[in-house]
A and B are shown apart, each in its own frame.
Chain A
Amino acid sequence: MNFRIFKSSIEKGRVTLKLDEAGIVALPEIENIGRDLKRAIHAKFGRSFHIREVDTGSCGACESEIIACSNPLYDIQRFGIDFVASPRHADALLVTGPVSKNMILALKKTYEAMPEPKFVIALGDCAKDGGAFKGSYYTRDGVENILPVILHIPGCPPDPLTIMRSLLSFMHDFPCRRA
């Protein structure tokens, strides 16, 4: 069995390069955005940008797309973006969902646990203004009503490329660490 796995990886090569053979559309765009992203992160965040994700009532599609950013096709980690398990290790807080009342306290505590400087990024249409759940008795119609949001990534859900593009433009606009 191990031999078979070994053989198949030799045959397929690096999946991030030979994508058409794996039945997946390879987009040169991923590499292009990634290269720019890597450069920007290197300059402004000292090589890496760490993100802590919190779901405050999303349907799960946004999570699915954020996870997809880490699959071998997009492999966002190679460009310097890492999803971390603790808010204490994070530069940014990535929030999805319209903010259910039950999650307000947990969201605030997660934010408080992060070291300065810290930013909140809202992802998906629900996180913007409640989206499909706007006006419900149990949501707060967007992350902005709880925490200061520096970037919003639109979409329902935004696909991995959109997420990468939005992060790139955020990096470009971000003031330089050292003047």
Chain B
Amino acid sequence: MNTQDYIKNILDSANIKTSGFDMLRRDELYLTVSAADFAGTCSLMHKKLDSPVMTFFAEDLREASGVFALYCGFLSLQTRSWIFVRQNIAQDDPAFDSLAKNIYSASLFEREIKEMFGIMPSGNPDLRRLKLHDEVWPEGYYPLRKDFIAPRDLPAPGPAYRFKRVEGEGIFEIPVGPVHAGIIGPGHFRFSSAGEPIVNLELRLGWTHRGIEKLLEGMDTSEAVKIFERVSGDTAFGYSLAFCRSAEKIFGIDVPVRAQLLRVIYLELERLYNHANDMGGIALDVGFSFPAQFASLIKESILQLNQKISASRYLKGINAVGGILQDIDKNKAVIIREALGKIEKDICSLEDMLLTSVSFMDRVDATGILRANTARDLGITGVAARASGIALDLRKALPGIYDTLSFAAAKEHAGDVASRLRVRIAESKESFSLISQSLEKLSSCSPEIKATGQVKEGIAFGYVEAWRGAVLVWMRLDRDGKIARCKIVDPSFHNWDALSFAVLGNIIPDFPLCNKSFDLSYAGNDL
């Protein structure tokens, strides 16, 4: 059954009328509903498609049509497509019925819509701001509105942020951050603890908010690639790829097969160096320094390999709208094969060192458990989700070029630190196989690595299963091909929340271990 009929059946069963179906592409369906039906339709999609809210954002269309538009995106695995429920909101007194009452995974998005657009999610009990901190940014300035002009002098900001308080005999609070003891991004953690076990953890993020979504407005696509490479430095390739895919969809470009295979290779190289880094990080956080140092050398050797084949340690300057700028010729393929052979051996010895050490396994087994139900409600993605029994991998769900390559998606059930470690080990091994399969196919490909297309206006959704999880980019280009609105979702957005559930009941000294096993991005979350 095609996507449109499938969704139509679901809507009919609940007697919901839509004012418009818009199948933009094979994998993107937009349906517009009235304000009264919006929350109901979203709940229905959430239940029937068994999908969390994958993305949820607003767009300022007041100039053209006098409204704000609201899009709520779901993933339909049944029809391999994205379903966007759309609603228009009148510009005077903008508000909508909160989805968070029925769908937990919508709650953070609603807070974001409130702070960035000033659109009120009526009924959401938690309206505290995520990124524009009360201490520096007064209420009433909404950066993502089109008529927002950065004020030169802000009036005095509001009162300080209120953390949730846990009270009771023997409960104490430990504030940590935003400046941490290590070399790492800034975030504030507020632990409530009774004795050693953590009874509550509240995260306050947004410290690295740079206003990326606003900065992108009015930008050319070629200029914007540079910004995307700097959203989260460890996912430079994943982000630029998600962006390029969305632009390519709008321009109607068919990316040459060779470029698609090259993208697989680069993306898997990015996955590899980060997974090696995390395996070492987990070892380091239990004080097992030999494998930690060993892993840091593995990471260094992959970074040097990146430098050799693409002139960038972090794979910047490779992606472009339409394809790739750095080809891998026969000589480079030999270099990659040779280096990866050694690295694969090293990863196997790293696995040996970790999994056969009883004292190490004792620390990671049953530590920081994230249950499947919690993970599902939060809508988390990526490594952490696959370690908690949710087998969502966009490379499998919406394969594209991955259809021609054979690999297995990793899956574990326990949801503890050890499971997340095992998922990383399994994925690294698949990466080696994916890279060698792609190199094999490259030799029989035409040499074309970049296609060009006509600049067009339109909207499109780009998605990539980057090493941390699903990176999602929704974009509207205007008539001149400049970005009118761009919404980025990092896997960390929901996974940070998951961390605060995973640590409950664990002792405070195990927090760094839990944190490292998720290894989330501050920069990608804060944008």
Tell me the A64-109 residues at the B interface (CB within 8 Å). Answer: 64-68, 70-73, 83, 85-86, 97-98, 100-106
Q: List 19 A-B contacts (CB under 8 A).
A: A1-B356, A5-B353, A23-B343, A55-B183, A56-B208, A58-B185, A59-B523, A60-B521, A61-B230, A61-B314, A63-B233, A65-B313, A67-B183, A72-B296, A102-B178, A110-B179, A136-B210, A136-B215, A137-B214
A17-34 vs B, CB cutoff 8 Å, 1 = contact: the mask equals 000001111000000000
A133 beta carbon closer than 8 Å to chain B: yes
Taken together as a complex, chains A and B put the C-alpha atoms of A83 and B184 apart, in Å, by 12
Q: Does A57 contact B (CB under 8 A)?
A: yes
Contact across chains for A22 and B301 when beta carbons are under 8 A apart: yes
Residues 129-160 of B contacting A (Cβ, < 8 Å): 132-133, 135-137, 143, 148, 150
Residue from B232, B277, B293, B300 in contact with A59 in the complex, judged by beta carbons closer than 8 Å: B232
B233 and A157 form a contact (CB under 8 A):
yes
Q: Given the complex, which residues of A lie within 8 Å of B183, measured CB to CB?
A: 53, 55, 63, 66-67, 83
Contacts of B352 in A (CB 8 A): 1, 4
Give complex CA distance A102, B352 in Å. 43
Measured between C-beta atoms, what is the minimum distance from B302 to chain A in Å? 10
Q: 9 closest pairs, A vs B, by CB?
A: A61-B233, A85-B181, A23-B342, A59-B233, A137-B150, A71-B296, A60-B233, A138-B211, A136-B211
The minimal Cβ–Cβ distance linking B296 to chain A, given in whole angstroms, is: 4
Q: How far is the CA of A64 from the CA of B302 in the complex (A)?
A: 13
Q: How far is the CB of A154 from chain B (nearest CB, A)?
A: 15
Q: Does A150 have its Cβ within 8 Å of any Cβ on chain B?
A: no
Residues B234 and A60 in contact, CB atoms below 8 Å apart: yes
B212 partner residues in chain A, CB cutoff 8 A = 133, 136
With CB as the reference atom, state the residue of chain A lying closest to B133.
A102
A54 interfacial by beta-carbon distance below 8 Å: yes
Q: Does B40 contact A (CB under 8 A)?
A: no
On chain A, the residues within 8 Å of B230 by CB distance are: 59, 61, 126, 131-133, 156
Tell me whether A157 and B314 are in contact in the complex, defined as CB-CB below 8 angstroms, given that A59-B523, A137-B214 are known contacts: yes
Whether B314 and A72, one on each chain, are in contact in the complex, defined by CB atoms closer than 8 angstroms, is no
Q: Which residues of A contact B182 (CB under 8 A)?
A: 85
Min Cβ gap B23→A in Å is 36
Q: Does A15 contact B (CB under 8 A)?
A: yes
C-alpha spacing A159/B232, complex, angstroms = 17
- Check A63–B184 contact: CB distance below 8 A: yes
B349 interface hit (Cβ, 8 Å): yes
Judging by beta carbons under 8 Å apart, are B207 and A25 in contact?
no
| Contact in complex: B208, A100 (CB < 8 Å) | yes
Give A7 to B307 CA distance when docked, in angstroms: 31
- Known A97-B208, A157-B314; judge A72-B215 contact (CB<8 A): no
Cross-chain contact B214 with A136 (CB below 8 angstroms): yes
A86 to chain B, nearest CB (A): 7
Contact B297 A72 (CB under 8 A): yes
Task: Please give the distance in Å from B452's CB to the nearest CB on chain A.
Answer: 25
CA distance A92 to B233 in the complex (A): 24
Give chain B nearest CB distance to A135 CB in angstroms. Answer: 8
Cα–Cα distance between A140 and B452 once the two chains are bound (Å): 37
B209, A57: Cβ atoms closer than 8 Å:
yes
B207 contact from A64, A103, A137, Cβ within 8 A: A103
Q: Which residues of B contact A64 (CB under 8 A)?
A: 233-234, 277, 314
Cβ–Cβ < 8 Å partners of A139 in chain B: 210-211
Closest B residue, CB atoms, query A60? B233
Could you tell me the distance between the alpha carbons of A124 and B226 in the complex, rounded to whole angstroms?
15
Chain B residues contacting A101 (CB-CB under 8 Å) are 133, 136-137, 209
- Return the chain A residue nearest B236 by Cβ: A61
B290 interfacial contact with A, CB 8 Å: yes
Quick one: which of A8, A62, A98, A159 contacts B210, CB cutoff 8 A? A98
Task: Confirm or deny: B326 has a beta carbon within 8 angstroms of a beta carbon on chain A.
Answer: no
Q: Min CB distance, B376 to chain A, in Å? A: 28
Q: What is the CA–CA distance of A15 and B227 in the complex, to the nearest angstrom?
A: 37
Give A83 Cβ to nearest chain B Cβ, in Å.
6
A70 contacts which chain B residues (CB < 8 A)? 296
